[in-house]
Amino acid sequence: MRTESVLRLSENALKVLEKRYLKKDENGNVVETPEEMFRRVARAVAQADLNYGASYTEVEATEEAFFELMTSLDFLPNSPTMMNAGTELGQLSACFVLPVEDSMEGIFEAVKNAAIIHKSGGGTGFSFSRLRPKGDVVGSTKGISSGPVSFMTVFDTATEAVKQGGRRRGANMGILRVDHPDILEFITCKDDNNRFTNFNISVALTEEFMKKVKEDGEYALINPRTGKIVKTLKARAVFKTIVKHAWQNGEPGIIFLDRINESNPTPEIGEIESTNPCGEQPLLPYESCNLGSINLARMVRNGEIDWEHLRERVHLAVHFLDNVIDVNKYPLKQIEEMTKANRKIGLGVMGWADMLIQLGIPYNSKEALRLGERVMKFIFEEGRKASQALAEKRGVFPNYEKSIYRGGPKMRNATVTTIAPTGSLSIIAGCSSGIEPLFAVCFVRNVLEGTKLLEINPYFEKIAIEKGFYSRELMEAVSETGSISHIPEIPEEIKKIFVTAHDITPEDHIRMQAAFQRYVDNAVSKTVNFPNHATPEDVERVYLLAYELGCKGVTVYRDGSRDEQVLKKGSSQKQSEPQSTQPTTPPGRIVPRERPEVVKGTTRAMKTGCGNLYVTVNEDEHGLPFEVFNHMGKAGGCAASQSEAIGRLVSLALRSNIAPEEIIKQLKGISCHQHTWAKGGKISSCADAIAKALELYMTKKDGNGSKNPGYESSPIVGACPECGGVVEHEGGCAVCRNCGYTKCG
Cite the active site residues.
276, 278, 280
HSE-up of 435 (CA within 13 Å, CB side)? 31
* Separation between Cα atoms, residue 175 and residue 156, nearest integer Å: 14
Q: Residue 455, Cβ neighbours under 10 Å: how many? A: 21
- Please count the CA atoms within 13 angstroms of the CA of 653 that sit on its side-chain side: 17
Bridge partners, 529 (sequence order) = 557
C-alpha span between 358 and 440 (Å, rounded): 17
Q: What is the DSSP letter of 48?
A: G
Q: How far apart, in whole angstroms, are the C-alpha atoms of residue 266 and residue 274?
A: 15
Distance CA 505, CA 471 (A): 29
Phi, psi (rounded to 5 degrees) for 545: -65, -40
The CA distance from 542 to 539, in Å, is 5
Nearest 5 degrees, angle CA 424-CA 425-CA 427? 65
Residues near 301 by Cβ (< 8 Å), separated by ≥ 6? Answer: 309
Cα–Cα dist 362/370, whole Å: 12
Question: Of 276, 258, 278, nearest to 267 (Cα)?
Answer: 258
Residue 456 near residue 475 (C-beta atoms within 8 A)? yes
The residues, any chain, with a CB within 8 Å of residue 160's CB and separated by 6 or more, are 169, 170, 197, 198
Q: Please list, in sequence order, all residues whose beta carbon lies within 8 angstroms of the beta carbon of residue 139, skipping any fewer than 6 positions away.
A: none
Give alpha helix (H) positions in 395-457. Answer: 423-429
| CA–CA gap between residue 575 and residue 505 (Å, rounded) | 27
3-state secondary structure of 252: coil
What is the SS3 assignment for 101?
A: coil
3-class state of residue 366 by DSSP: helix
Q: What is the DSSP string of 601-624?
A: EEEEEEEETTEEEEEEEEE-TTSS
Are the C-beta atoms of 434 and 352 separated by less than 8 Å?
yes
